[in-house]
């Protein structure tokens, strides 16, 4: 029998959250705004209803990117990355430290 490995939660300097990943709140809003039921989303994405329930009402803190994208696409949206107005480069960060 294999020993149980403890779960490690990595914290990143530019991405912190205390309870759940903020994408969960965004997904909840997206599903509600789409007018789709969990069943409709499941049928369009193959993400299980219980998985979505755990995101929105349960203990899941960090959903997988693949599942997130499947739900986003099933609801008729795309995820787009945009560059922030001002990016502090590493040299400037060192000067500030």
Assigned fold of 22-79: 434 Repressor (Amino-terminal Domain) (1.10.260)
pLDDT above 90 (res 24): yes
Q: Where are the domains of the chain?
A: 22-79
Question: Rounded to an integer, what distance in angstroms lies between the CA atom of residue 94 and that of residue 97?
Answer: 5
Which band of pLDDT confidence, cut at 50, 70 and 90, is reported for residue 87?
low
**To the nearest whole number, what is the mean pLDDT of the chain?**
86
Structure tokens, 33:
């705004």
pLDDT mean over 88-92: 70
Task: List, for residues 42-78, the tens digit of each pLDDT value.
Answer: 999 999 999 999 999 999 999 999 999 999 999 999 9
Question: Rounded to an integer, what distance in angstroms lies between the CA atom of residue 26 and that of residue 31?
Answer: 9
Closest among 75, 19, 15, 17 to 45, alpha carbons compared: 75
Closest among 87, 83, 81 to 65, alpha carbons compared: 81
Structure tokens, 55:
């995101």
């Amino acid at each position: 029998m294999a020993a149980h490995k403890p779960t490690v939660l990595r914290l990143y300097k530019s991405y912190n959250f205390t309870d759940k990943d903020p994408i969960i709140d965004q997904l909840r809003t997206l599903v509600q705004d789409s007018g789709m039921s969990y069943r409709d989303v499941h049928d369009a994405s193959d993400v299980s209803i219980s998985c979505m329930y755990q995101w929105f009402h349960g203990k899941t803190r960090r959903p997988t990117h693949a599942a997130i994208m499947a739900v986003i696409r099933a609801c008729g949206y795309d995820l787009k990355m945009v560059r922030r107005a001002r990016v502090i480069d590493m040299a400037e960060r060192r000067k500030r430290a």
